[in-house]
Structure 1
């Protein structure tokens, strides 16, 4: 689990239409550039490549990448006298130029949350909603998965994750009543110091006057958890602020039953692969029962996700699973539904 720094929560610096590509100079680096077809200026510990258009900038960076120099950092600017922006790796800068429209959306685009209902299996009443990130502009069709993929490639994962958490908290105001939970995804790799990094989230909760106990923060399925103790610290920080935590996709490789015991979350969400046709598969039924035994013994609520068939819903209900979500129950919508009608 890679830990990041504060600079990655900030807005990305703009890619200048024309100006200079600043490269931090390394020993013998200048000699590597002698064969370049692009002119450059050496100034103290910095090498500057002037460019008149972004296409030229792309070509310069592409040529630099071909040299395969390790730890090469850069930024773009218009001043030749001093460094005015934090430097990032040349690879990251190249990705930001290639995906500039999406990078701009990550930084400044209008985000909203859609709501997928989560029900209590005993009576199908609304227990809460999972908040899912969307664009508020219907003319902009950007898949959330694509957003996070570009964010990862461009070093903006922390910024997007922070914006997504804020959007989820803000979106429930005047839409979801007190006592109804909001399940909000978070990426532990974007947090390097839980007590410091999560202060932004806690301030947003206070700003919008949301009850902390109505928020459930869950580790998303894309995270590969290697530092369990660090994740325990993150969970404890949420809990100390009165919020709940969930372990997503239990059984899907990394979220093992052993980890469930170590983390002791408030909720576990059983991965879709164990829910699909669980009514017909003895091995899946055995796994679900094992999860149930451990979680129930620890006072953890169990949520079956990805339910798409009545038979799956009926089986989960028959083994006393607590909660459920999936397309059979309800799809994500811009406005939260108040009631669920299950046939």
Structure 2
């Protein structure tokens, strides 16, 4: 038995409402949607910050669980591609014991007929980790359970390369500020090329987030990146999957 997570609030409700938005992750070389990132929104589509600003310290565990469950259950209703990944952000400091804390997510996947193997959990470099050894334990446990793990905002937060060496995630999401207007910045191009080379050596896949222009996309593809996310492809769909067919058609036309 994995046990029960005593910190998750026993399913107790939260004093505010929230919903989910979904932003596509596009595999450009394959001209398909690889997956979607689930993003917290207010009940009428308000920003994530409008929700997170209401959180208190003693609500973190319940919120982390509730957000995972809502993301999985909503994806179970919306996804029509059996291979599409669902990427869920989680708070490493809000996980007591990964084997216990994952049980509600697995139950939600069963209820929703969502394949657990299609789940990817993102943790961010921007959150100062009070116990890196605990985070390493979470990542290893998730990998053993068959989930993908991703390090978000790489290049923008705490620990950087030392955290990467310690955790060895399946995927790195390169921070959008490092990619913004990369076609105009030789230093950014060199740094991203170095990250891409390092990732290949470590067998870690790269995802460029926050891509907003074809010029940025061209430089990043030349660096060997094939997974992308950003407004260039689509804005997040509020409780829906946004349409990326226009991008797919344009890519196919250029390739032809």
Shorter-chain TM-score category?
0.7 to 0.9
How far apart are the structure 2 equivalents of 1:154 and 1:301? 34
- Listed one character per residue, the Cα deviations across residues 263-302 of structure 1 (whole Å, up to 9, x for unaligned) are 1111110001111011111221122112111211121110
Task: Pick the aligned partner of 2:59 from 138, 147, 156.
Answer: 156
How far apart are the structure 2 equivalents of 1:278 and 1:142? 30
Corresponding residue of 1:180: 84
RMSD, aligned CA: 2.2
| TM-score, scaled relative to structure 2 | 0.86
Higher relative contact order (CA closer than 8 Å, sequence separation 6+): 2
How far apart are the structure 1 equivalents of 2:31 and 2:190? 25
- Larger-gyration structure (1/2): 1
Does the residue aligned with 1:273 lie in a helix, a strand or coil?
helix
Corresponding residue of 2:15: 104
Structure 1 stretches lacking a partner, 5+ long: 14-102
Corresponding residue of 1:63: none
How far apart are the structure 2 equivalents of 1:298 and 1:246? 14
How far apart are the structure 1 equivalents of 2:208 and 2:147? 21
Structure 2 stretches lacking a partner, 5+ long: 251-256
Shift of 1:260: 1.4
- Measured at CA, do residues 325 and 286 of structure 1 come closer, stay the same or move farther in structure 2, by a change above 3 Å? same
1:165 counterpart = 2:76: no
How far apart are the structure 2 equivalents of 1:331 and 1:338? 9
Q: What are the equivalent positions in structure 2 for 1:182-331 lying under 5 Å apart? A: 182-220=86-124, 222-254=126-158, 256-331=160-235
Q: Is the 8 A contact 1:267 1:302 kept in 2?
A: yes
Q: How many residues align?
A: 242
Shift of 1:123: 3.9
Q: Is the 8 A contact 1:184 1:217 kept in 2?
A: yes
Does the residue aligned with 2:15 lie in a helix, a strand or coil?
helix
Q: What are the equivalent positions in structure 2 for 1:132-151 lying under 5 Å apart? A: 132-135=39-42, 137-138=43-44, 142-151=46-55
- Listed one character per residue, the Cα deviations across residues 152-194 of structure 1 (whole Å, up to 9, x for unaligned) are x352111111111101111111321211111111001111222
How far apart are the structure 1 equivalents of 2:11 and 2:241? 31
How far apart are the structure 1 equivalents of 2:126 and 2:214? 28
Q: Of Structure 1 and Structure 2, which has the larger fraction of its residues in helix? A: 2
How far apart are the structure 1 equivalents of 2:244 and 2:46? 29
Q: What are the equivalent positions in structure 2 for 1:27-38 lying under 5 Å apart? A: none
Q: Is the 8 A contact 2:40 2:51 kept in 1?
A: no
Corresponding residue of 2:34: 127
| TM-score, scaled relative to structure 1 | 0.65
How far apart are the structure 1 equivalents of 2:144 and 2:91? 19
Q: Is the 8 A contact 2:174 2:206 kept in 1?
A: yes
How far apart are the structure 2 equivalents of 1:134 and 1:158? 18
